[in-house]
Amino acid sequence: MKILSFLVLLAALAAAARASHPGQEAFAQSVAAEFGVDAGEVLRWLGEARYRQEIIDLINRPAESKPWHSYRPIFLNERRIADGAAFLARHRALLERTEERFGVPSELIVAILGVETSYGANLGRHRVLDALVTLGFYHPPRQAFFSRELKQLFALAAEQRLDLAALKGSYAGAMGYGQFMPSSYRSYAVDADGDGRIDLWNSMPDVFASVANYLARHGWQRGEPVAVPAEALAGARDPGPLRLEANRRAKDLAALGFRSPQVAEDDPRPLNLVRLEGEEGPEYWLAFPNFYVITRYNRSALYAMAVYQLAQAILERDRTAP
């Protein structure tokens, strides 16, 4: 009898130790209905997940809130350029095959990995399950988005045989060398090495192909430019709020007083004007559709410009290497 009582006590203590999140039963049923994952299994994992205040703190102060002159040095520095050139050289053959298949330049693939994880040196220290539970249940400003990503995580774990207890990533729940969110992992990641699984931590063919496929599927135009510097002429007029998608023409921007010697005024390609806060005042760039494609990876003009400039710096370093 004493043994039975002790076992009951242990069970009660274990149950008390398990987390409970508001609306978790309905959430589990929704995962089961949408993705066929057992609701009891979802609840079991939710019971293992913990609210993390540091996740809320981090998402409330993203790097993209900085001005360009403070944001740029985070990614455009000697260490990241040198490491990127070395990474490009080390994986040149595989990157060239990936570029041929998807049309995305090797240096751009490398730059994205450089900005996201320092070429795999920093894959994230937060347990993905905790991050997405915290944001999906306790972050009202973007709760709907992260709740969907949490559902996708359960589906992804079942499909790719991932261990939710051990899975680490960013504070937002992004994973692997390229920091894919669960929905992007399921929609755009590629099994390029043909082993039957998509491994964004250990398989460089999968990593490179997945980043390139993501950009290609979002409209990357092979051989087309990303952005060129522009100048504001005397009397230039305010172009209005920045729209990331290229939806203007060179002649329209010229009429507002913004031109680039690299783009003819009768150029028919869609463009947009990007204004960045440089150390000595505003910087202006004419951005092509490929710039917008990079923002689909992270919806920030700062991010896209950092990726583009890092890619150019890596390419230049590679070309001049002895």
Would you name the residues annotated as active-site residues? 116
Cβ neighbours of residue 317 closer than 8 Å, sequence gap 6 or more: 81, 82, 84, 85
User: How open is the CA angle 304-131-187, to the nearest 5 degrees?
Assistant: 55
Nearest CA among 129, 130, 123 for reference residue 200: 123
The answer to whether 39 and 26 are in contact (CB under 8 A) is: no
Looking at residue 268, the DSSP 8-state letter turns out to be: -
Q: How far apart are CA 98 and CA 106, in angstroms?
A: 8
Q: How far apart are CA 34 and CA 296, in angstroms?
A: 25
Neighbours of 217 (CB within 10 A): 13
Name the 3-class secondary structure at 96: helix
Measured in degrees and rounded to the nearest 5, phi and psi for residue 307 equal -60, -45
The answer to whether 215 and 102 are in contact (CB under 8 A) is: yes
